A and B are shown apart, each in its own frame.
Chain A
Amino acid sequence: MKVVNNLTHSVDGLGILKGRAAYTDDLADKNSLIVKVLRSPHAYAKIVKIDSEEALKLPGIEMVLTHKDFSRVPFTRAGQGYPEPSPHDKFVLDEYVRYVGDEVLAVVGSDLAVCEEALALIKVEYELLEPVLDFEKAIDHKSIIHPEPEAHEMFPIGFEPLRNIAASYHMHVGDVEKTLSECDVVIEETFFTQAQAHVMLEPHTVNARMDYQERLVIYNSTQTPYHMRRIISQGLNIPLSKIRVIKPRVGGGFGGKQGIHGEMLVAYVTYKTGKAAKMVYTRKEVFESSYTRHPMKMKVTLGADKSGVLKAIDFHCLSDTGAYGEHALTVFMVVGSKVLPLYNKVDSVRFYGDVVYTNHTPAGAYRGYGAIQGNFALESAVDMLCVKLGMNPIEFRQLNMMKETETSPIFEIMGEGTAGTAMIMETCKLEECVEKGMKLIDWNDKYPSKDMGNKIKSVGMAIAMQGSGIPYIDMGSATIKLNDDGFYNLLVGATDIGQGSDTVLAQIAAEVLMTTMDKIVIYSSDTDLTPFDCGAYASSTTYVSGNAVFKAANDMLEAILVEARRILKSKEVEFDGVLFTNELGETISLIDLSNEITYSEDQKQLSVTSSYVGHKSPPPFMAGFIEIDIDKETGEVDIVNYVSVVDCGTTINPKLAEGQVDGGIVQGLGMAMFENVQYSKKGALISNSLMTYKIPTRVDINNLTTVFVDSYEESGPFGAKSVGEIGIDTPPAALANAVYNALGIRIKTLPITAEKILLAIKAKERN
């Protein structure tokens, strides 16, 4: 391979670093009206009266939008395929506000200052309702968060709004209780994870204008331009054909930009007034009024026999979806479906529980998507079981974990929102990942810990898996067209949000077409120009969209060969990417061929479009190892190194793949150690700025060692699986395990802060 799996600079990094206009707000119309939302100060209230008379008198104020301006069409902002597995429980604006930060109304004015002045003049009367702030008490709480009759599910997801249940699920294989009763060693433990924030550095933003065909053009920092177009069309009753969504460069998404934010309001304003409009979230709005990771409570029961064979897993999960049910069921299911198959040799397994509504910031899609929560619980529990068994945790995993050519019944039972797809692990190099990681971290020397005076050094590890798209649901497609002068346009609906998919997809096309990267001009995504793609989520882009590009490139190859055979008047033509040669040794270059078919003879535009739907979702696997130094007197933790050994199939772009893992690890470490989510007693988010919500800085991260094992997934483009999410899964459990290995202290609630560690040390000393 010449381009794939070789060092290739990203196609866009240089221009972006040099400061070219690239992001949504860089492209906003300078005269845009500003749309600014008044946000609820109350966790749960009914709007009784809105008095905006004074505000409307301000020069520059165009309009004030309230729930009365919108028809009562419930939708979901989740940004998923149709029909969505998320409940339709949101109105553009509603007479109820369901969390601090929820939309009360919107003012539209000529600049931000006048909008802010207007917001201060508007008087809103609320009838306060009792909020549900403790997710463990949400079910059958006397406050019902979605009493409105319009809210509904699109197909059965266990939606019971009158009980504050957004979704529920149950699956089992075998008889867990019976198996557990026969086990020699059983542990039962409960774990908690927090509502991590995405903190993509570009805040959510959208702007819109009407074009000269009187169509609505929306520039949107989104992961899902096609879903966006559909949802806006449905929500505002604008014909789909009248809407064009352009996704410029996106400044990070991590799942947070899969869902809808200000799109409905901005689209409405422009469509209604004919004037350009825009909205840029403040960082506070990003924290309070977008989405978070679903906080969860997970009770894990594991049973094994004396020899260390894991026999049963019983996993109960309670998930908090906040005020609206975006991704409620699907994130919940991934807690099980992309975690439990790691231990596929059990006799029985059960996974069940509920996703509940509370009056907190809604939860939504976030890299890891349930797998990080489930991984923390299961991989912590496994180490705890090992302590009880008196067994080395690595040996336990080597004995019990998934291996190549094996399968798990869970694949068939659990999909995302629906039943799943049976599959055999054609590639699973977990054993090699574990072995290699042990060497790189020097496990045998450092495990479990080493006393160094004030500090103690220790190591901990966890294994993980993810998926590669959603089989039979996620579709990607690609159009390739040949230009005169012999270069290609590659048009994809796949959404580059910084993960490098434009580069990776161009590499796939270049490899198939035997050309160099400068001959492939990639463009993503514009619903008028690029073919459909479900968008950037579920680790689908490289595998699903990559396969579409692979197919399209092969179709293009075939198409240019047809032309070459015609021109060279021969049935046997060979092509090396530059030159076509027939059996007589006559040649024509691609440049000449392209010029000829463009200008001279039998002129035509060569263009092909291909699509791909996955029929399975081959999981990438990894083993993560952390080395830490803990100050025994203060609990402070230094992360010395994090070793990741990853099986993601072929790395189309090894450096970008490494970047995906590194970035995931550091976000995972953020969740594991630093990112503390705090609410006030009244349910307001206290950690609502970068001053109060601390993400890892470069000083907090000393070193990352990321390597890939050789692996080739037949079904993937050039052997690739996905790599976008897998990196985030292991840090919480690896850290928890390392802290235990150092101090014999088990922290089961994230984040694992120095304070929790020290207070646990003190409590242990007292006992």
Chain B
Amino acid sequence: MKVSEYIKAKDLNEAYELLREDRKNYIIAGGAWLKLSVKSANKLVSLDALGLDKIVVLGDSIEIGALCTLGQIETNELIKQLYDGILVQAVSSIMGVNIRNIATIGGCVMGKFSFSDIFPVLEVMDTTLVFHKQGEVSLMDFLNNPKFEKDILVKIKIKNNLGKGFFKKVAITALDFSVINIACSKTDGLFSLSVGSTPYIASPCYKAMDYINCLSDINLESIKECANKVVEEIKFSSNNRASKEYREELAKVYISRGIKQVSNYEN
């Protein structure tokens, strides 16, 4: 990456102004993805001096500063408890400790990676994002709307709910991107399901959730039906890592296993 200037912002306003100033100015967090994705940058704006690297509990939420590294998140005791630790599982499935010590959750979110292992998990929890200018928005708002791209992510809020969770990343080796990733949760009797790396960015499985959350009781038959609905609803395609057909099979199997796990279902 060719860089003309590196600036440590003194406050969020300055960072925001610098970001808006030029199309080729970027916020730099860990910089791991920037290195691979940006050929040449005008100004790189660092948020290092702004104290955005804290994980705190405020009210009924856990707040994760945008500059928290993946390493910080995976070793945090609170997050290890959250939904059986699915965020920790997802984070620790990403590459090795060395990258996780620089890659930040903010970079993961703002990158909107189609292969992201974070989004399926964030989607099955009650997650909101806090931006400098546009304030608190729902995760799905962010995903469906490009207008946040030139804002600064300050923190991520996750409701500290008691719930069960399941996360699965299928990858060719332990250092690869997902072939597919799946998250399930169950809170207050309601299932939440998400599939990512399809190879598109993770998406909640609304129809499947509607179906299964309307049932009074689940059985093998209904779990299978739910898994089929996921495949009907979500768009799967082929790429270098896997074919559409294989992804669909994996989605069915792991959605079923996820539902079973979060509902303690035994046949």
Contacts and interface: CB of A to CB of B under 8 A. Distances in A.
Direct interface between A and B, CB < 8 A? yes
A142 interface: no
B59 to A, nearest CB: 38
A665 to B, nearest CB: 16
Contact of A634 (B175, B177, B250): B250
Contact of A699 (B174, B242, B253): B174
B170 interface: yes
Contacts of A634: 170, 249-250, 253-254
A758 B249 contact: yes
B249 A697 contact: no
Contacts of B242: 755
Interface string B241-253: 0110110011001
Interface stretch (A487-495, A579-587, A688-696): A688-696
B240 interface: yes
Interface residues of A, number: 23
Interface in B22-71: none
Contact of B246 (A694, A697, A755): A755
A762 interface: yes
Interface in B151-193: 170, 172-177, 179
Contact of A694 (B175, B245, B253): B175
Contact of B173 (A694, A755, A758): A694
A268 interface: no
A700 interface: yes
A431 interface: no
Nearest to B168: A634
Given A634-B170, A634-B250, A762-B249, A694 B240 contact: no
A100 B238 CA distance: 24
A712 B240 CA distance: 48
B246 A758 contact: yes
Residue of B170, B172, B174, B245 with highest tally of chain A CB at under 10 A: B172
A674 interface: yes
B21 to A, nearest CB: 25
Interface string A734-767: 0000000000000000000111001100100000
A759 B173 contact: no
Contact of A636 (B170, B175, B240, B245): B170
A678 interface: yes
Interface in A172-188: none
A388 B250 CA distance: 33
A634 B169 CA distance: 13
A686 interface: yes
Contacts of B179: 755
Interface in A671-701: 674, 676, 678, 686-687, 691-692, 694-700
B240 A686 contact: yes
Contacts of B177: 691
B83 to A, nearest CB: 23
A316 to B, nearest CB: 30
A584 B169 CA distance: 79
Contacts of A753: 172
A672 to B, nearest CB: 13
Given A634-B170, A634-B253, A759 B176 contact: no
A745 to B, nearest CB: 15
Contacts of A698: 174
A347 B127 CA distance: 72
A404 interface: no
Given A692-B240, A759-B245, A674 B173 contact: yes
B134 to A, nearest CB: 33
A694 B170 contact: no
Contacts of B253: 633-634
Contacts of A691: 177
Given A686-B240, A755-B243, A694 B172 contact: yes
Given A633-B253, A634-B253, A678-B240, A695 B246 contact: no
Given A678-B240, A755-B242, A755-B243, A696 B249 contact: no
Interface string A698-710: 1110000000000
A700 B170 contact: no
B250 to A, nearest CB: 6
Interface string B226-243: 000000000000001011
B108 to A, nearest CB: 17
A671 to B, nearest CB: 13
Interface string A626-645: 00000001101000000000
A754 B171 CA distance: 10
Contacts of B173: 674, 694-697, 699-700
Contacts of B243: 755, 759
A469 B179 CA distance: 43
B265 to A, nearest CB: 14
Nearest to A762: B249
A678 B242 CA distance: 12
A686 B240 CA distance: 8
A762 B245 CA distance: 10
A633 B176 CA distance: 21
B209 to A, nearest CB: 22
Contacts of B250: 634, 758
B73 to A, nearest CB: 20
Contact of A697 (B174, B240, B254): B174
A455 to B, nearest CB: 12
A674 B174 contact: no
B170 A759 contact: no
Contacts of B246: 754-755, 758-759
Contacts of B175: 694, 697
Nearest to B172: A694
B151 to A, nearest CB: 29
A753 B250 CA distance: 14
Nearest to B256: A633
Nearest to A696: B173
Interface in A513-543: none
A44 B245 CA distance: 34
A697 B176 CA distance: 10
Contacts of A674: 172-173
A755 B173 CA distance: 13
A736 B174 CA distance: 22
A514 to B, nearest CB: 47
A667 to B, nearest CB: 14
Contacts of A636: 170
A315 B142 CA distance: 60
A700 B171 CA distance: 11
Nearest to B242: A755
Interface in A147-168: none
Nearest to B36: A691
A633 B240 CA distance: 22
A698 B174 CA distance: 8
Contacts of A755: 179, 242-243, 246
A755 to B, nearest CB: 4
A104 to B, nearest CB: 21
B95 to A, nearest CB: 10
Contacts of A687: 240
**Closest A-B pairs by Cβ, 9 of them:** A699-B174, A755-B246, A694-B173, A633-B253, A697-B174, A697-B175, A694-B172, A697-B173, A694-B176
29 contacts: A634-B170, A634-B249, A634-B250, A636-B170, A674-B172, A674-B173, A676-B172, A686-B240, A687-B240, A691-B177, A692-B240, A695-B173, A696-B173, A697-B173, A697-B174, A698-B174, A699-B173, A699-B174, A700-B173, A753-B172, A754-B172, A755-B242, A755-B246, A758-B246, A758-B249, A759-B243, A759-B245, A762-B245, A762-B249
Interface of A: 633-634, 636, 674, 676, 678, 686-687, 691-692, 694-700, 753-755, 758-759, 762
Given A634-B170, A754-B170, A758-B249, 18 more contacts: A634-B254, A674-B172, A674-B173, A676-B172, A686-B240, A691-B177, A692-B240, A694-B173, A696-B173, A698-B174, A700-B173, A754-B172, A755-B242, A755-B243, A755-B246, A758-B246, A762-B245, A762-B249
